Amino acid sequence: MTTIIAFILVFGLIVFFHELGHFLLAKRSGIMVRDFSIGFGPKIFAYKKKETQYTIRLLPIGGYVRMAGEDGEELDLKPGYRVGLELSNDETVTKIIVNGKDQYVDAQPFEVAKADLEKELYIEGFEDFDESKKVRYPVSRDAVVIDGKIETQIVPYDKTFGAKSLGKRAATIFAGPFFNFVLAVIIFTVLAFVQGGVASQENTLGNVVKDSPAATAGLKQGDKVLSISGKKTESWTDIVTEVSKNPGENG
């Protein structure tokens, strides 16, 4: 059981650092990240902040970062759609209600004629479904499309993965394995401090085991071995070499 728990913790840490690399570089490159998820299967924990949902799932066998534009997502409002619009004080669209309009009593009834939610960011059509009242509204870069209980933030084209330069896309992809390398460096550094650093190559004795031949000969921790059988020893390697040439013999 202990082995399984240790495996889950270690594997989870590796996955977390890998996905964190993708996430941080995507954010730095100006790419919208829709999901940062550790694990697969049913959700255990979910928290949404701004445009990103952070999730921990039941099965700790992987994870993913879902970047806008990576999976070909597209919010398409076709001509003839009847929606509800919520506007800011400067008459910019902040919400487009596709389904569930009855829950938004202040929404403006609107029939879509044309819309661009990626580049030009506008919606054009008829207020109150009346073709004599054709208007065009700008759409906020942070506007959301509401379909029942599902809210999806629109993604301006410049915030998608595909809109970025080759260098930024490559850096975002490479960041995952690079962060795993950084994690390995951190772990080995911590282990080195905990275990007292790297082994010394000096010709100085460390702990002397009780009742061992060295202890019987009167050697103590910190003693320097200057020579063995008349041969000068300047490093621990020299000591090991000379001792191995004469196994079981008294010096």
Write down the residue that tokens 């928290």 correspond to: 47
Q: How far apart are CA 154 and CA 146, in angstroms?
A: 10
Cβ-proximal residues to 243 (8 Å cutoff; 6+ apart), any chain: 228
Is 73 tagged catalytic?
no
Q: What are the strands, taking DSSP E only, across the chain?
A: 33-49, 52-67, 82-87, 93-99, 108-116, 122-127, 134-147, 150-153, 227-228, 231-232
Choice among 19, 111, 118, 242 that is catalytic: 19
Please check whether residue 226 is in contact with residue 204, taking contact to mean a CB–CB distance below 8 angstroms: no
Amino acid at 221: Q
Cite the active site residues. 19
